């Protein structure tokens, strides 16, 4: 005769294996949930820490951009004023010395034409 008390039935072994697998799955799910909760907390902490840094960086970048715009405006205004002064100076010189101004303009024009002629001759040949 067979002793049924010392031997486990195949159904009982299958049930125990299924129960062990179910416990392993639940344990794994529990560990995964804990890991995800921890990760979510870490991400939230990083977000809270990074937000003020990003705000400061954005404010600094805006301030630098504004300074750049102001500097360009200031330089542009200075250039306009210098060009205006130079123009006024030229007009005053022409009024004071009209003959000299015409001669200077003629000599300058002739020199430029000679230079253009030389450059075009070199370019052709």
Dump pLDDT digits (tens) for 36-85. Answer: 888 888 888 888 887 888 888 888 888 988 998 888 888 888 999 999 99
Global pTM? 0.39
C-alpha atoms less than 13 angstroms from C-alpha of 63 in its C-beta half-sphere? 6
Given pLDDT bands bounded at 50, 70 and 90, which one contains residue 96? very high
Confirm whether 71 is domain-assigned. yes
The Cβ of residue 94 has, within 10 Å, a number of other Cβ atoms equal to 14
DSSP letter assigned to residue 8: P
Confirm whether 61 is domain-assigned. yes
- Domain carrying residue 28: 12-124
Confirm whether 1 is domain-assigned. no
Confirm whether 2 is domain-assigned. no
- Residue of higher predicted confidence among 31 and 3: 31
Confirm whether 6 is domain-assigned. no
Dump pLDDT digits (tens) for 59-73. Answer: 888 898 899 888 888
Confirm whether 63 is domain-assigned. yes
Confirm whether 20 is domain-assigned. yes
Confirm whether 21 is domain-assigned. yes
Q: By percentage, how much of the chain surpasses pLDDT 70?
A: 93
- Helices (H) then strands (E): counts for the chain: 2, 0
Instruction: Specify the pLDDT at position 114.
Output: 94
Q: How far is CA 42 from CA 24, 39, 54, 112, in A?
A: 27, 5, 18, 72
Q: Are 101 and 93 in contact (CB under 8 A)?
A: yes
Look at residue 10 and tell me whether its pLDDT is greater than 80: no
Given pLDDT bands bounded at 50, 70 and 90, which one contains residue 16? confident
Instruction: Specify the pLDDT at position 1.
Output: 45
The total number of structural domains that make up the chain? 1
């Amino acid at each position: 005769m067979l002793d049924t008390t010392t031997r486990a039935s195949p159904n009982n072994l299958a049930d125990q294996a299924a129960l062990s697998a179910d416990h392993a799955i639940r344990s794994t799910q529990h560990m995964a949930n804990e890991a995800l909760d921890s990760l979510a907390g870490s991400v939230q902490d990083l977000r809270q820490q990074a937000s003020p840094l990003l705000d400061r960086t954005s404010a600094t970048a805006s301030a630098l951009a504004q300074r750049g715009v102001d500097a360009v405006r200031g330089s542009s205004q200075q250039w306009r004023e210098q060009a205006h002064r130079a123009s006024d100076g030229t007009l005053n010189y022409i009024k004071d010395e009209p003959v000299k101004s015409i001669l200077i303009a003629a000599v300058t024009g002739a020199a430029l034409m000679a230079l253009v002629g030389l450059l075009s001759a070199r370019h052709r040949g």
